[in-house]
Amino acid sequence: MKKFILLFVIFIIIILVMNYPVEYTIGINYKVSSIKIPLYAKLSGFFYRDWMYKSISSEIVSGKIKDIEKAIAIFNWVIENVSSKIPVGFKVIDDHPLNIIIRGYGKSDQLADIFTILCCYAGMDAGYSRIYSENKDASLNVAFVKINGMWFLFDVFGRYIFRDRKNQLVTLKTLVKENLSDRKIIVGYNLFIKNIKLVEPKNFKRAKMQKPFNRFLNLF
């Protein structure tokens, strides 16, 4: 009887905890609002997204051996499946990255977000940041991916991969050091690469935090 009562109490506690109201935030046309949803709904959504990211990433990189091949495959998939143009009459929505994939369109930071998350699920360190021109009158969201111990730069929104004249990917270190002087790169990027040294890729966490285990560790 005591065991039954104990199990019943535990069951009730679990029900109460899982129905505890938590905040869900969403931005629509740059106006942020929040609603209360039960904890179980937020948790189930989190684990569902984790599964979807794994599934999508695995499908994209299937058959690819090298990380550089995986990153390029993910880059091509994102620009082919997620439009950088907001359809006329459609709202700009900022919620979970998976929903951007489902909607099929997103802003520059959202495209970079999706790309880096999928790269992370493919086993690479990745993140994105906004970089500014020297006089800060213009900005650009770019993605960083660590491949074989070196950081590489991708402009998902601009559909541009930084390569040299031999069509090989250029490392971030080389871009900053040589300032694009002898690279086959759109001239406009020079305005931003000068300040890219202000970005610290080692601090990227967002893509990793989409994984339940990493999110759990971050609590401590």
Tens-digit pLDDT profile for residues 128-141: 988 887 777 778 88
Instruction: Please say if the pLDDT value at position 18 is more than 60.
Output: yes
Tell me how long the chain is.
220
- 33-55: pLDDT as tens digits: 788 888 888 888 889 999 999 99
Distance CA 51, CA 48 (A): 5
If you ran DSSP here, which 8-state letter would residue 168 be given? P
Distance CA 35, CA 8 (A): 31
Distance CA 92, CA 76 (A): 23
Q: pTM for the complete prediction?
A: 0.86
- Whose CA is closest to 169, among 183, 188, 187, 189? 183
Q: Write down the pLDDT at residue 74.
A: 97
Question: According to the per-residue pLDDT averaged within each range, which of 14-18, 81-85, 189-193 is highest?
Answer: 81-85
Distance CA 55, CA 146 (A): 21
Section 88-92 average pLDDT: 79
Q: Write down the pLDDT at residue 182.
A: 47
Domains annotated on the chain, with CATH: 65-217 (3.10.620)
Helix and strand numbers (H, E) in the chain are: 8, 7
Q: Write down the pLDDT at residue 179.
A: 56
- E strand segments, 112-209: 125-132, 139-147, 150-155, 160-161
**Structure-block tokens of residue 179:** 């300032």
Task: Give me the residue label for tokens 């994105």.
Answer: 128
Contacts of 161 (CB under 8 A, 6+ apart): 72, 75, 154, 155, 169
